[in-house]
Amino acid sequence: MPNNKSFILFIPLIAIILLSSCSVRREKALFNAPTDIITDTLKQVYVVNDQGLGDLYYRIKPNDLLAVRNVQNPEFGAVGSTSSSGGGGSTGGTASAAQSFAVDLDGQVDLPAIGKVAVIGLTRREAAAKLQEIYKEKLLKDPIIEVSVVNLKVTLLGEFARQGNFLLEKDNTTLIDILGEAGGINKTADPKSLKIIRGDRANPEIIYVNLNNINSLASKKLILQNNDIIYLQTTKSAAFNEKMQSISSFVQPILVIVNVALLILTITK
């Protein structure tokens, strides 16, 4: 009898929790936006504040760090190691064997043996071809130059096997490339809730992706850009279960007290 009475007292609390379950995940989520409700009905890819396609081939800017590696002549441009590796990992290994050189505000990079070279506005391939020609004219026979921009990165947060900063060491790095580098997603992740925040932080482009749908992979929007933030939420059930566990640890002592009080009341009648 006491147990039945305590259960009846507990019913309103259960009802309140169930009614609020839809908001549980949102309370703990990062970077909430009014458009996040689209994830409940998302089929493939949905873009908010579309800013068009970014440069598929990144163009070098002032303050970039270039890793320059001469494949045939290691003594030129392949000494030391870069200090720009991200917290999470990278999409390639070329930068790890090359020294990094900063592009100054005038758009030039100062390199061993050949001095300053203007590289601003060039793609990685164009910069490599230019440096290759200069090294060939001034110093080396048939050099093979590789150039990486080692400060380009994206940030993964949420339900990934690994979170952190991941380097974009090659052109056209896709979302799937980075997911593979991060080790995939967790069991508690909601594949329909992936969100990419891109561009101006005050007025960002938001890209919603349904990883369950293979047709999503065809979107050019999934070619990653420098400083993209990629966020993945938990499923509603996982968020609800976590909430229930925290509530249970608070409610159980109260139920014990209620049961004891009802038992005493029953005995004394």
Q: Exposed, middle or buried, 120 (CB in 10 Å: 0-12/13-18/19+)?
A: middle
Task: Find, among 72, 78, 68, the residue nearest to 136 by Cα.
Answer: 72
What is the tens place of the pLDDT at every residue in 156-176?
Answer: 999 999 999 999 978 889 999
Region 60-69: mean pLDDT is: 94
Model confidence band, residue 87 (pLDDT cutoffs 50, 70, 90) = very low
- Mean pLDDT score of the chain: 81
Indicate the helix (H) or strand (E) that contains 206. strand 205-209
Region 98-124: mean pLDDT is: 92
Model confidence band, residue 83 (pLDDT cutoffs 50, 70, 90) = very low
Model confidence band, residue 105 (pLDDT cutoffs 50, 70, 90) = very high
What is the tens place of the pLDDT at every residue in 89-98?
Answer: 544 433 445 6
Region 221-246: mean pLDDT is: 81
In this structure, the strands spanning 115-118 and 108-111 are antiparallel
Pair 149, 66: CB distance under 8 Å: yes
Give the pLDDT score at 138: 84
Q: What is the dotted CATH code of the domain comprising 30-52+152-232?
A: 3.10.560.10
Q: What percent of the chain has pLDDT over 70?
A: 74
Give the pLDDT score at 55: 73
Does residue 251 have a pLDDT over 60? yes
Give the pLDDT score at 171: 86
Higher pLDDT, 138 or 94: 138
Domain boundaries defined on the chain: 30-52+152-232, 65-149
Region 26-39: mean pLDDT is: 83
- Topology of the domain comprising 65-149: wza like fold (3.30.1950)
Region 15-36: mean pLDDT is: 69
Model confidence band, residue 262 (pLDDT cutoffs 50, 70, 90) = confident
Task: Find, among 33, 65, 53, 87, the residue nearest to 197 by Cα.
Answer: 33
Task: Find, among 23, 21, 30, the residue nearest to 233 by Cα.
Answer: 30
Pair 157, 231: CB distance under 8 Å: yes
